[in-house]
Every structure is written in structure tokens, then in C-alpha cells.
Amino acid sequence: MKLRILKLELIGIVFITILGSLLHFTFEWSNRNLLVGAFSAVNESTWEHLKLAVIPAIIWMLIETKLLKDKPENFFFAKTKGIYLMPFLIVVIFYSYKAILGTHSLFLDILTFIVAVILGQLLSYKLMFWSEIPQVSNKIALIFLILLVFSFVIFTFYPPHNFLFLDPVSLKYGI
């Protein structure tokens, strides 16, 4: 079972990276459809780019739940931790390298995204095989995933006026 799950996590890296890359453009491709915008990047803010990792990772988790008949006891807990790690790393790495270089680089932005996805998926894999955790942890993890998705949707339409939400191109917030 461990090898099968490792393969799925590695396939997930490719899936999340490709779908996340596409989600960068889907809002414009959909003629700025608000439903599409709720789940894809609507501007160039850091916050909107976090969706590019989180939404595909959640979709991949849902696919995995169908592919894995016997999920590890820690499955949802592990996946949630990995999914939360991705945006955390994107923010930390992006603002760290930007502070050091004084500017951002498209190459480093893409590399940051890929590294965050890889580490998030690998963390998920490692946590799935930790000693068993209380089942309530899986339920709490799912609540945290729902809250994360809800926050992306709400903050797309009603973003706080904070640097994470500021589109550096248009100097506007949200849609």
C-alpha cells in the first residue's frame, strides 16, 4: 500500500502543477466568469496565486479518495497538512527571495510553486504513515479544508486591503 500511495502522491505533483498552471489563465479564458474566478486566479496578487496550488491539491485529494479503497487512517489529516503547507511555503519563499533580490523573477516564482507542491505532497505521504491519530483529527482537518476553500472564495470578492491581496499590476484588490 505504501508504494501505491507514494506513486499517487508523485502523480499528484504533476497533476497539481499542470492544473495549477492552467488555473492561472482560466478566469480570463472564461470571459471573467465569476464562478470560475472563485476557484482560479483573478489577478496577480499573491493571494490569488495561492489558489493555484490549493484548489488542484484538493481536487487531487478527492481523486485519491476514489482511487484508494483502503486509505490510511491519517489520510485526511495528512492531506490537509500537506495542502496547508503549500501556500505557506509559497508565501515564505516568495517574500524571502524577493526581499533578498529586491525584485521577483518569473522563473523563481514557478520554481517556488513547484517546490511547494512537491514538499506538500511529500509531507502528506509521510504523515499518512505516522502512528494513528484520533479519528476526530481527520474530521477537524476536513473542516479546515472547507474553511480554506471558503476563505479563497470570500476573499476573491471581498479581499482585505493587505499586501497579500494587492494586485501589483493594477494596484487593485480582488475582482
Q: How far apart, in Å, do the first and last CA atoms of the chain sit?
A: 44
Instruction: List the single range of 34-48, 55-69, 130-144 with lowest mean pLDDT.
Output: 130-144
Dist CA 106 CA 110 (whole Å): 6
Q: How far is CA 82 from CA 22, 23, 45, 66, 159, in A?
A: 21, 20, 22, 19, 25
Contact 27, 45 (CB under 8 A): no
135 band by pLDDT with thresholds 50, 70 and 90: confident
Tell me the pLDDT of the chain averaged across its residues: 96
Distance of CA 13 to the CA centre of its chain: 11
Dist CA 128 CA 80 (whole Å): 11
CB count, 10 Å around CB of 92? 12
Return the domain boundaries, the chain.
2-165
Task: Look up residue 129 and give its DSSP letter.
Answer: T
pTM summary value: 0.94
